[in-house]
Structure 1
Amino acid sequence: MFPIRSFKGRTAKKIEFNFDGGAINSDEGLLFIKEFDRKLGLTRRARTLLNSFDSRQSRKVKHSTLDMLRQRVFVLVAGNEDLNDHHELRNDPLIQTIVGRDR
């Protein structure tokens, strides 16, 4: 078991890599992509541009532009090109962690 505590998110979570065959996910490399994005601020900068086009009524908004952008970008990086994958992946704990919806 290799515990890793260096990934930052909204909540303090312990992320462990192990080989016991439990809840398996082959996209753990996305944790490194998330950290890379956090340091460079790419999706935050893109959000600023996209927010200027966001005409949604703020009281009706459930998901921020940043959450939706991160989900789309990170799922594309993972190789899931179709938007219909998002319906299933929205319940994936790894995707929730990466997007920042793991509250």
Structure 2
Amino acid sequence: MKKALSCASISHLEQLPNVGKAAVADLHLLGITEPGQLKGRDPYQMYDELCSLTNTRHDPCVYDVFISIVKFMDGDPPLAWWHYTAERKAHLASPSSL
């Protein structure tokens, strides 16, 4: 029987759900080197900071990955990044996010 993934069992960024080499590199650019540093972060702010640091507009799916890993480290169950696409679209469409 496979053990359920929990934030308490994560000690390396590579162990986070939805995170591969590219996401680890992005997180390192943001100064995030340990999973615990994601707790309480604003994934939208993280995305904006990444775009600013790299002078590149990244794929919107990066938002979804950031949302998924922040929520996971804040205690939500591990979900695929695309689970957060509708949430991201709604957030970015709201006047308060501008």
Q: TM-score range by the shorter chain?
A: 0.3 to 0.5
Determine which structure has the larger helix proportion and give its number: 2
TM-score, normalised via structure 1 length: 0.33
Instruction: Looking at secondary structure, tell me which structure has more strand per residue.
Output: 1
